[in-house]
Amino acid sequence: MMIKEVTVFVTVFFFCITSFCQLPKSDSSHITICSFNVYLLGGVSPKYKEINQQHKDPNYRRSDTSFTIPDRISNCADLLSRGNFDLMVLQEVVDGIRGDSAVQDLCNELIRNSGKDLCWFTSDRIGKGMRMESMAFIYDKAKINLIAHKGRNSSLWSTQEPKNRKFVKTTWQSGDFDFTLFSCHFAWNEKDCKRRQADYVLLSDILNNPDKFSSDPDIIVVGDFNRFGGRYCKKENNEYGIQQLNFDSSKFRVPHVECFDPSISNLKEVAENSGIMHPQQYSTTVSANTMVYDMMWITTDVLEEYNWERNKWNIDFGVLVFDEADGNAYLPGAEDLSSKEIKYLYSDHRPIWMKFKTNTGSSDK
């Protein structure tokens, strides 16, 4: 009996360790999509301020250090390279030449690390957070094709709140899988609940009525949704915005949340689910909490490319945990940094990802 108990314990322990230590694996019949809120990309390293200054004044002489790759860019490239992603969607990119230059450097570092034939582009200005922002997209041309519309790589969609950042819509194709992808960065402003409410209202409309937003019902929505972020408005009955989303599991799913909160709007943090081992591993932030701000939503048509019934954490979807010693993407020394130091050397968010089949035949047509 003792031998059997020890065997069971070792087996379960080994499964948990291997599950948390796994990274996304690449193969020819799948693509892996990543979403990453990179804190003020283009707004931290002095290099991009100098590039912007030279752009304004051609006579401005840049320092020698501004012609090198900033440590932060190398750090983020090392982190993202661990995921072997085919499409990377970045939020909180500083709009304009500063952000564009940072994305170009990041793409070049990713190419150097992986040898992949990567391309990048940024969206039009989406609105203001701490700075004016855009979204960035880096993708492997050998695995995935960008489908432009009317000569444009992306388009913007607005909520009913004019101060809110716009959603960015793009269209893609890989093998038999063609899909529309929206990238979002929801409002944090806790002084005006209507702002985040408006973001969730538009998200709910997209997910419940995909035909209104795309000729293809395969829709993926990624980004930073600030789920339960900030203090609620007492006058609005504990309103965090997500209560505005009409959740219908027959129409859309969100694995990064449903894995610990099947209702998607009941539990504020992963740690509130006592059945989840190592809740910090599920968090999408580097803070000392277990919040899930970043997610990937999929309409049910996408389930042709994603087996919901068999989906597993860190195999079909997951988080790159780089700041914990037992994380799957652990970067030595990261656990000794403060949250502020991590934010400026990497980001205050962790990359999230999902894996999709691309060889389903005609079922996606």
pLDDT, residue 27, reads: 87
Measured distance CA(331)–CA(87) in Å, rounded: 22
The identity of residue 312, as a single letter, is K
CA distance 24 to 149: 31
pLDDT at position 24 is: 83
- Count CB neighbours of 88 within 10 A: 26
Q: Mean pLDDT in the chain?
A: 91
Parallel, antiparallel, or unpaired for β 294-299 and 219-224?
antiparallel
Q: What is the mean pLDDT of residues 128-144?
A: 96
CB atoms within 10 A of CB 62: 12
Mean pLDDT value across residues 59-80: 97
pLDDT at 231 over 50: yes
Mind spelling out the 3-state secondary structure of the chain?
A: CHHHHHHHHHHHHHHHHHHHHCCCCCCCCEEEEEEEEEEEECCCCHHHHHHHHHHHCCCCCCCHHHHCCCHHHHHHHHHHHCCCCCEEEEEEEECCHHHHHHHHHHHHHHHHHHCCCEEEEECCCCEECCCEEEEEEEEECCCCEECCECCECCEEECCCCCCCCCEEEEEEEECCEEEEEEEEECCCCCCCHHHHHHHHHHHHHHHHCHHHCCCCCCEEEEEECCCCCCCCEHHHCCECCHHHCCCCCCCEECHHHHCCCCCCCCCCCHHHCCCCCCHHHHCCECCCCCCCCEEEEEEHHHHHCCCHHHCCECCCEEECCCCCCCCCCCCCCHHHCCHHHHHHHCCCECCEEEEEECCCHHHHC
Q: What is the pTM of this model?
A: 0.92
Confidence of residue 16 (pLDDT cuts 50, 70, 90): very low
* pLDDT value at 235 more than 70: no
Q: What is the mean pLDDT of residues 346-353?
A: 98
> What percentage of residues in the chain have a pLDDT greater than 70?
91
Residue 8 has pLDDT above 50, yes or no: no
**Residue pLDDT, tens place only, 278-332:** 999 999 999 989 999 999 999 999 999 999 999 999 999 999 999 999 999 999 9
As to burial, measured by CB atoms within 10 angstroms (0-12 exposed, 13-18 middle, 19+ buried), residue 42 is buried
Confidence band for 230, pLDDT divided at 50, 70 and 90: confident
Q: Mean per-residue pLDDT for 42-51? A: 97
Residue 20 pLDDT class (50, 70, 90 cuts)? low
Please state, for a pLDDT cut of 90, what percent of the chain lies above it: 82
Q: Is the pLDDT of residue 233 over 80?
A: no
Report pLDDT for 25. Answer: 79
Higher pLDDT, 35 or 16: 35
pLDDT value for 363: 54
Quote the pLDDT of residue 93.
Answer: 99
CB-based contacts of 151, cutoff 8 Å, min separation 6:
none
**How confident is the model over 233-257, as a mean pLDDT?**
86
How confident is the model at residue 302, as a pLDDT? 98
| Dist. CA 64–CA 203, nearest whole Å | 45
Torsion of CA 151, 157, 170, 116, to 10 degrees: 100
152-156, 184-188, 334-338: segment of lowest average pLDDT:
334-338
Residue 228 has pLDDT above 80, yes or no: yes
Q: What was the pLDDT predicted at 18?
A: 43
Domains, the chain, ranges and CATH?
A: 32-360 (3.60.10.10)
* Angle between the N-to-C axes of helices 97-114 and 46-56, in degrees from 0 to 180, rounded to the nearest 10: 130
